[in-house]
Structures are given as C-alpha cells and as structure tokens.
Structure 1
Amino acid sequence: MDSRRLIDRRHLDFLLHEVLAVDDLCRYSRFAEHGRETFAAALDLAEQVALDKFLPHNRKADLHEPQLVDGKVALISEIGEAVAAFCAAGFPAVLADYDRGGMQMPFVVGAACDALFCSANAGTIAYPTLARAAANLLEVYGTAEQKRLYMQPILEGRYFGTMCLSEPQAGSSLADLKTTATPQPDGSYRMSGAKMWISAGDHELGENIVHLVLARLPDAPPGVRGISLFIVPRWRVEADGSRGARNDVRLAGLNHKLGQRASVNTFLKFGEQGDCVGYLVGAPHNGLAQMFHMMNEERIGVGLSAIQQAAASYQYALAYARERRQGRHPDQKDATSPAVALIEHADVRRMLLLQKCYVEGGQMLAFDAALLVDRQHDADERVREQSHLLLELLTPIVKAWNSDYALRANDLAIQVFGGYGYTRDYPVEQCWRDNRINPIHEGTNGIQALDLLGRKALMRDGAALRLLLERIAQTCAQAAADATLAPFAADLQRAASLAGTVTQAAG
C-alpha cells in the first residue's frame, strides 16, 4: 500500500477553509501578516517533513523501543533526525511571537500541522510538541528571566520540556503527591521526590530538558490547593544562558509500553543526592491552575492525535479494501467467477463508513476547539468571552470522545483486514496499540467526565452549557430547512435537549 495515503490534504483543506473559514482569522491584528498562502506553506512543509522524516521509521521505532544503556536513554537514530528536521523547519515556534523568532501562526493552523505528524508517527512527535507546550506555559506564567533562560531555547529547538505530575503512589490523584520544594537563601528551591510516567523525560536529543514539576512547599495546605509549580532543568543554566553543571535529576527506569514506543516514558527521581535545584513559577500554591494551561493544550493535542491514528488506520483499511479481492456477492452462485474487492461487500462498506464518520467528526471537533483558542484574540469582548466558555466546556470532550471513538475506528480497521489485521504484517494493529494510551494519559477519560460534569458544565451557573445548546439549536434550525437533513436535525435537537435537561437537573 502507498503509505502517502495516510494524509488526506484535500479533506484537511476543506475543513480549514470551507467549514471553519480560518482565513477570517487574518483580520485579527495578531495574524494580519498571514493569509491562505502562508497557511498552505506551513501545511505543505509539515506534510513534507512528516512523510520524509517521521513516517519512514514509525515501524522501526515500534520494534526497537528505547533502551537504558550505560545510564542513558538510547533511541534509534531516525528519531533524532526527525526531531532535528522538525526543529530546523521552525515548528517549535509555530505559535510564538515574531519577536521571539516564531511564525505567529493561529493555534488551529498549528494543530493542523501537528495532525500531519501525528498520522505519520505518534511517538516521535511527542518530544517537540511536549516541549512547545512547556514553552507556552512559561510564556504565560514565567518571569522575563525564566523566559530568556528556559523558554527561548525551547522555541529555538535546543531545549526540550516535560510535565511532571504523577507519582508512583498517587497516579492521577494529584492531591496525594509528595514531592517537596524547600526554599533556599538565593531564591531557588531544593527539590525532593519522584515522578512516574514522564513522557520524553530523559534523552539526548537536545542540550537540556526543562522539567515542569508539581511539588509542595513546607507551608503548603493539604490537597490540590497546596501544589506549586517549579522549573527543574536537567542541566543547570548559568545567568548568561550557558549550560552549567548536571542537576540532581536522575533517571530511575524506563516504562516499557504497549504502543507509542518511539517516545521514551520514564521514572524520574529528584534530589537523591540532596542537590536538585528548582525555580518557582508564578505564585506559590497555584501550581495546578498554572499546569492546566499546559494540560489543556495537551488534552486537545491528545484528542487530535487519537483521531489522527484513527484516520491513518482508516486510510490503510480503505486502501486494503480496494485492493484485496475476496469472496463474491451473495447472488453470485458461480464459484469460478472472479472474486470481488472487499469494498464491494456491504459489511465492509459499513465498517469503512463508520470509521469515516468517527474520523471526520473527531477532526471537526478538535479543529473547532482549536479555533476557539484563536477566537480569543477577537476585538469583540463578547466573542472572546463566549470562545473561552466554549473552549473550557469542549476541551474534556475533545480529549475523551476522540480517544474513545478513535479506538473504535482502529478496531474496525483491524476487522476490515481480518486475520491479517491482527498480525504485525500490516500497520493497523500498531495504530490500535499506539492509540490505546490516549484514553488514559493527560487525565483518564473518567477524570475528563468528572471535569466536564463537576466543573465545566456547572461553571457560571451553566453558562457554557447553555451557549453550546444554543449553538446546536441554531445549527439544527438551519439544517431543518433541508428535506434530507431535517430528520437528522430533529434527532440531534432531541438528544441535545435531553442532555441539557438531565445535566441541569443533576447540577
């Protein structure tokens, strides 16, 4: 099969320009220097790098997972080459301001570029995109000095970054984390503790790794309200920006994963020798709220990555169904007649169409949420406020719905291949394995449900939910004017009304 079928640029362009009208963003001052041509150029470049540097080693990285050799993480060389190409193309700074050397692209265009990399290699793309999310957090909460020393090198592709939340004994229960930060006379902190499941937590791909670590100060109140956020570099950084001595951050082990094996997953220990230096980000005891800036960006990224793994397996299944000839139509009784292509069988078409629905619906959901990030640059305060409300509500849905239904699509792709799909001879089994992490990390889908119903649907007396229901009603009213769409619009309106009634009653 032609692997380049993985990326359907025609459909991506249709979503961005015909449905979402991303060109309209160019009327905002932040994006005024852009246009359809620059958006297309960024996507063309992303597609080229994804196909030339990321896709070719996708299977090799799966078969040769990271190893611990002489205390260091050993990766296949192609991972470093792909990440270097990503950085050389300027994608770490795709969202950054011009005066920081960035492209200053809309978030939705950056997400579309990321989608191409996710389809090609979901594991390798984790290194630079996690780093970019760390830089985006520092842009909001870091001091000028922290931005100079830690954020700017990430944007330049020299430093990488992680988010260190979970601990071996606590998992997703951040209220139970035990990592501590003790103030020092020079304004720094001594860090002590351990973090588990840290993606891209240790490697030799860049000059440094900037760990963003949640920890407790000595006077911290219990629970999540007592959590602060710290920069903990792998290598200390001198005042002039040069790399200093090795910090007391130690790699304690690797987690060997079901999928996405290209991205190393680590167990890290901080301060075993009593000399781990960290630096407070923002206000004390406000770390979880600050970390949510990175987590929410990553949750949209997880939802997008999940649906792109479904898109990849769908393209594989579609190509296979067109090429593989097997069986005959039920009314063909002549056993000597030529076999028909799988796609001619009704059940195979059903499975392909279900995948297509999940993929295109999930892509639209993710890109629509990404567009809401950009709408917060609108001059109209009401547009900014409504965009923020909808984004808050939709973020857990993007993460949870996409990762759930993407796996269903992967499962259907395997089914289209039949027994071959269950083997490693074809890539759809890897798509499923790579995708299986997405309902778990960045907050399990159960946690997303708690967030959605416990906080987002009820915030501001249900304002975000009401706004979403109003927009659904407007869409249904427009669709009702079309005789073909009217029955579906009526079904959607009934379902939306029921969901709103039940949620508001429960609240």
Structure 2
Amino acid sequence: MPAVNRADLDFMLFDWLGAERLTALPRFAGQSAEDYRAFLDLAERLAENEFLPTWKPSDSAEPALGADGEVRLHPGVRDAVRAYLDAGLQLATVDEAHGGMQLPITVGTAAMACIMAANIAASGFPMLSQANARVIAAYGTPRQIELFARPQHEGAALGTMCLSEPEAGSSLGDITTRARPAGADEAGRRFRLTGRKMWISGAGQDITPDTIHLVLAKIENDDGTLPAGTKGISLFLVPRLLPEIAPGGSGPNDLAIAGLNHKMGYRGISNCLLNLGEGTRHRPGGEAGALGWLVGEPGQGLAIMFQMMNEARINVGLGAAALAWRGYLLSRDYAFERRQGRPLEDRRAPAPVPLVRHPDVRRMLLAQKAIAEGALALCLYTARLADLAATAGTEEERSRAHARLDLLTPVTKSWPSEFGLEANHMAIQVHGGYGYTRDFDVEQLYRDNRLNPIHEGTTGIQGLDLLRRKIMGDGGAALAALLEEVRATADRAAAGPGAALAPGLRDAAGALEQAARSATGAADPVMPLAHATAFLHAAGHVVVAWLLTDMALVAGAPEGRLWAARHFHDTELPRVAAWLAPLGAGSRAALDAPDGAL
C-alpha cells in the first residue's frame, strides 16, 4: 500500500493551513496551489517508486566500511537518493538567486513527509544536506557559498553536521576537536582541524563524489590550550575533497571514517566515527590536519549551528510523525482485512469478524489516528511558522511567528518522537503476533522510530530547553500568547459541533499555565527542572489537542477529524493534570534521593 495518504496531507496543507495564502507574500509571488500540488506529486512518486522499494532491503544489508576506508551503501539507497537529487527536490526552498525554486518551507516539509514515510533512513541524506547548505547560504561568504553550498544544490555533494564526540555528546562545551590557523584565501580564513566526531549520519557515502562537513571545533589559544565552554566553539567547512584553491591543489582532505555504528533501526544511512587530522589521507609533504574554512567569526560556531540544529530537530519530529502515520495506515488496513474472534454482542456468531469489530482494536486505531494526524499537523504548523518568521509582511508578524517557532521547536521534536512511538507500539499490537515478525512492516517502523526520541537531543534535553529557556527564561510570555489562541479555538468549538471539546481544552490550558507560573515563581529554580520532561509531555498534549480541534472545525472537514479529536480529548487530555501535579506540589523526590537509593 502507499506510504502516505495524500488526501490527509492535502487537507492539512490546503484546507486547514491554507498554504496557497502564502503566495500573497512577496517571496512566493507568482506561485500557486497548483504548483505546490505538482511538487507534492513528484515527491509522492519518488517516495513510492524509489524510496519505498529499498526500505526493507537496506535494513538487512547495512552500510559497510571497506578495507579502503570507503563506505558503501545499499545500492537501492544510493539510487533513491540519486533520483531525488536528479529530480531537484533539494532545491525546493532554496532561494532563486542560488538556483532554487523558492517554495515555502511548509510545502517542502509536506514533500519530505512523503519521503520519510517511505524510507526514513534514506531521507536523512537529503534532509541533512539541505539544512547544511542553508547554513552556508545564510552565514558563508560568497565564495564559500559557491564552493560548498552550490555543489549540494546541484547534487554533486551531500552535507553533514559534526557536533558530538566520543566523550562529549550533548555537552558541546566539552568538545576537544581543535583548530590551528593555516592562512587565508579567497574563501576566508583557513584552519587545520584534528579530533574525532561521533554519531555523524551520512559522513561516509557513495552517492555523490563529495561530502561537505560542518564541524564544531575550538581554535587553539596561543599557549596551545583550548578555550573553555560553549563560547569558545567555532564552525568550520570541511569538505571531503579539497577545492582547487586549497594549498597544493585539489585532492582528498585529511579525513577518515574510523568506524560505523550498528543501530537497532534506521539502518539505511551510515552513522560514523569521523577522524580529522590523523594524517592518513593528506598528501606526502603536506601539513597534517583536515583543512577547513571558518564560517562567521571565532566563537560564533554554536550560535550559527543552532540554525541547522533547530531545523534538524523539527525534521526529527516530522520523521517520527511520518512513521506513526504509515504505521496507522498499515494497522487500519490489517484490522479491516484480518478476521479473528466473535463479536462481544454475539459470541455464537457462525464466523469470525474483522479485527476492527473488537472494541480494543477500535480504541487503538482511533488513538493512532489522533497521534499520527496530530503529530503531522504539529510539524506542518511549525513549518508555516518558519515561513512567516522569515517572510511575513511586518516586523511584528515576523517577531510573533519567531517567538512561537522558538517555543514550539522542542515540542515539535519530542512529542511526535515519544507518542509516535506509542502509535507504532499500538500498530504492532493490532497485528498481534504477526506484528512482531519481520514479515510485516510495523516491526521495522517501530525500530526505525525508536531513534527519534534520542537524536538531535534526547527528550530530557528538549524538556530542559522548553521549561528552563523558553518558559522560565521569558516568564512564560510566549506560552501565554499561545494559550490565548488555544482558548480562542475552544470558544469557537463551544459554538458548534465540537462543543464537547471545549471544556477539556480550556481546563488543560489552564493547568499548563498554572504549572508555568509555579515553575517561574519557584524559590528553588532547580526543582521545576526535575519535572521538565513531564511538563514537555503536557505542553505537547495541549498543543496537539488544540490543533486536532482546530482541524475538526474546518468547514467540510472529514468526519474522522472530529472523532480523532474527541478520542484524544476523552483519553489523552486527562493525562495533562497528572503530569503537572508533581511540579505544582514541588516534589523533590528525584533530587533528594541519595545515590545509594538509585
């Protein structure tokens, strides 16, 4: 069956979000809804014809590191990504000045959801590369854009992000990759980098000749020490193949894939230990160290890299939503086709009935529907905020969209990741014993999705970001503005067929607002952070309940929209109060328990 339900995607994009209204903005002038649908048609065809057929084969035939130090992917993955690049989908949201289509991020996100649903691992190559090139276009010099972003736009290179190290995961202030000055040229200041980077997706690949790495490192002090903390981090462009302007001319850079990580799922993309400056690949007589060009100014690395990190976080949520969506579609079809058991109202019925006749199966299908549609709606809504933050007509509108985008980024990353996994769990459960076998797709969907609560910052880190930086950091102002809209939607629901949804939505919004006040007013600022993940879950549930309600109120919305919203309000919103209760009570159990009790 298809990996996506195009009718659902079109409803969210056009009937609910009104993507065609973006064409009123100068950046998208001359575009039309027909253009957007044609682009989605192309993405859907590539998803079905190129990415989906290689999804299962690339799970069993993982990337391999040859004796020559080169990584070789499953041929199907290589061909699928090559087809994506040849079709030009990587140019969707790129500026026309750089050869792109300049489509809205909202449309590009919807197209990427199709690719992710078909093959989440293979989608990682273009996803990372597009974000990489966007950073270079935003912060690089004109020559850096020409040398390092343009090849990615043209499909001659792919890009990565190199942050973590074997001994420094999310604690980036502790990285030890070092950079030594090595002159300058027309592309900017050059440095020689030495160190090791871990968990680098796509660092080794045989799809394109070149790979452009964005590497975080610290510039050595005059005494050879490294600056402490995150303020000493700088960002460097480190290509696999050196451009002609490099000292001594073009050739391989001093980079080496030292090993591959073997993952539970998400296996189609290589995940690498990347060594810089081991001297294994530089030319005889050349200076050791991987050659890299500084992006921006020294010490600005983490601030610049946050653009790619935040884009990646939203895409992680999108991938999780796509996997939940596909799992729901598969289990729904299975429940209608598979016959087993007699109906509860007639235990003597002569023949088994479809699984969908059983109450608990119906519960799991409706729960999956609500999670999958809510998660995808959250990602598309966030993408629309990104468009408005960059292109809205007034500074006030741009500022408001940016504040909302900043607030929701950790929610968009983590809520689909956590609850999309719950949906995939239920998809396996609907399939019963068959769901636990590799013969049915839901088994792999679960394994693939299990990565999403981890990479680009674990759920706990997202919770800290939301509560400490986004809520306590501004006294809850951005949250208060969001909750105003939530209550306005509740008011609209109260006056129509969604009247039953209004009280629960108002109550949940009030509970979240009160918890935010408790956190910002706490005498001990550490205590609330012990409950940051629970606060994150609660915030996500409130936002998703709001979006599900808002979609159900669209004129002519399919009947299933209202039922998904009703189920979520009835069964999920009550969890919000339970998540927030320990924070309101000031519980310190996790903080005060002695180490010996853990």
Does the TM-score normalized on the shorter chain lie above 0.5? Answer: yes
Name the residue aligned to 2:55.
58
Following the alignment from structure 2 to structure 1, what is the Cα–Cα distance between the partners of residues 17 and 142?
35
Q: 1:505 aligns with which of 518, 529, 532?
A: 518
Structure 1 position 269 matched with structure 2 position 267 = no
Structure 1 position 153 matched with structure 2 position 151 = yes
Letter in 2 for 1:51: E
Q: 1:346 aligns with which of 340, 346, 359?
A: 359
Q: How many pairs does the alignment contain?
A: 501
Structure 1 position 252 matched with structure 2 position 250 = no
Following the alignment from structure 1 to structure 2, what is the Cα–Cα distance between the partners of residues 149 and 199?
22
Name the residue aligned to 2:109.
111
Letter in 1 for 2:368: Q
Structure 1 position 216 matched with structure 2 position 247 = no
Name the residue aligned to 1:181.
179
Following the alignment from structure 2 to structure 1, what is the Cα–Cα distance between the partners of residues 347 and 419?
38
| Alignment check: 8 A CA contact 1:389 1:463 kept | no
Following superposition, the deviation at residue 117 of structure 1 comes to: 0.3
Name the residue aligned to 1:91.
89
Following the alignment from structure 1 to structure 2, what is the Cα–Cα distance between the partners of residues 178 and 457?
32
| Alignment check: 8 A CA contact 2:64 2:73 kept | yes
Query: Deviations along 1:198-227, whole A, 9 cap, x unmatched?
Result: 000111111210110011112353111111
Following superposition, the deviation at residue 459 of structure 1 comes to: 4.1
Following superposition, the deviation at residue 462 of structure 1 comes to: 3.0
Following superposition, the deviation at residue 164 of structure 1 comes to: 0.4
| Alignment check: 8 A CA contact 1:235 1:243 kept | no
| Alignment check: 8 A CA contact 2:339 2:353 kept | yes
Name the residue aligned to 1:197.
199
Query: Deviations along 1:18-39, whole A, 9 cap, x unmatched?
Result: 1101110000011112111000
Closer, same or farther: CA 423–30 of 1 in aligned 2, 3 Å: same
SS at match of 1:170: coil
Name the residue aligned to 2:550.
none
Higher RCO (C-alpha under 8 Å, 6+ residues apart): 1
Query: Deviations along 1:248-301, whole A, 9 cap, x unmatched?
Result: 011100001111100010001001112311111111111111111001111111
Following superposition, the deviation at residue 489 of structure 1 comes to: 1.5
Following the alignment from structure 1 to structure 2, what is the Cα–Cα distance between the partners of residues 162 and 456?
28
Name the residue aligned to 2:284.
none
Q: What are the ranges of 5 or more consecutive residues in structure 2 without an aligned counterpart? A: 280-287, 521-598
Mapping for residues 452-467 of structure 1, pairs under 5 Å: 452-467=466-481
Structure 1 position 11 matched with structure 2 position 11 = no
SS at match of 1:125: helix
| Alignment check: 8 A CA contact 2:216 2:236 kept | yes
Following superposition, the deviation at residue 78 of structure 1 comes to: 1.0
Query: Deviations along 1:168-195, whole A, 9 cap, x unmatched?
Result: 0111111111101111233310101000
Name the residue aligned to 1:421.
435
Following superposition, the deviation at residue 243 of structure 1 comes to: 8.5
Letter in 2 for 1:126: G
Following superposition, the deviation at residue 411 of structure 1 comes to: 0.1
Name the residue aligned to 1:36.
33
Name the residue aligned to 2:208.
206
Following the alignment from structure 1 to structure 2, what is the Cα–Cα distance between the partners of residues 469 and 307?
23
Name the residue aligned to 1:235.
241
Following the alignment from structure 2 to structure 1, what is the Cα–Cα distance between the partners of residues 230 and 153?
30
Following the alignment from structure 1 to structure 2, what is the Cα–Cα distance between the partners of residues 363 and 85?
25
Q: 1:27 aligns with which of 24, 28, 32?
A: 24
Name the residue aligned to 2:376.
363
Following the alignment from structure 1 to structure 2, what is the Cα–Cα distance between the partners of residues 129 and 431?
19
Letter in 2 for 1:498: A
Following superposition, the deviation at residue 235 of structure 1 comes to: 1.0
Letter in 2 for 1:499: L
| Alignment check: 8 A CA contact 1:249 1:276 kept | yes
| Alignment check: 8 A CA contact 2:344 2:358 kept | no
Name the residue aligned to 1:290.
304
Query: Deviations along 1:310-344, whole A, 9 cap, x unmatched?
Result: 11111110111111111111233336x12111111
Following the alignment from structure 2 to structure 1, what is the Cα–Cα distance between the partners of residues 384 and 10?
14
Following the alignment from structure 1 to structure 2, what is the Cα–Cα distance between the partners of residues 477 and 238?
63
Q: 1:443 aligns with which of 431, 434, 457?
A: 457
| Matched-pair identity in % | 45
Which of 432-441 and 374-383 deviates more?
374-383
Following the alignment from structure 1 to structure 2, what is the Cα–Cα distance between the partners of residues 275 and 408?
45
Following the alignment from structure 1 to structure 2, what is the Cα–Cα distance between the partners of residues 93 and 456?
32
Mapping for residues 260-339 of structure 1, pairs under 5 Å: 260-273=266-279, 274-334=288-348, 337-339=350-352
Name the residue aligned to 1:101.
99
Query: Deviations along 1:16-65, whole A, 9 cap, x unmatched?
Result: 11110111000001111211100000000000011000000100000111
| Alignment check: 8 A CA contact 1:396 1:448 kept | yes
CA RMSD of aligned residues (A): 1.4
Name the residue aligned to 2:490.
476
Closer, same or farther: CA 243–355 of 1 in aligned 2, 3 Å: farther
Following the alignment from structure 1 to structure 2, what is the Cα–Cα distance between the partners of residues 295 and 231?
16
Q: 1:123 aligns with which of 100, 106, 121?
A: 121
| Alignment check: 8 A CA contact 2:472 2:519 kept | no
SS at match of 2:122: coil
SS at match of 1:124: helix
Following the alignment from structure 2 to structure 1, what is the Cα–Cα distance between the partners of residues 159 and 209?
11
Name the residue aligned to 1:494.
507
Name the residue aligned to 1:74.
72
SS at match of 1:354: helix
| Alignment check: 8 A CA contact 1:67 1:73 kept | yes
| Alignment check: 8 A CA contact 2:404 2:482 kept | yes
Mapping for residues 376-391 of structure 1, pairs under 5 Å: 376=389, 377-391=391-405
| Alignment check: 8 A CA contact 1:26 1:33 kept | yes
Following the alignment from structure 1 to structure 2, what is the Cα–Cα distance between the partners of residues 150 and 229?
14
Q: What are the ranges of 5 or more consecutive residues in structure 1 without an aligned counterpart? A: none
Following the alignment from structure 2 to structure 1, what is the Cα–Cα distance between the partners of residues 55 and 84?
15
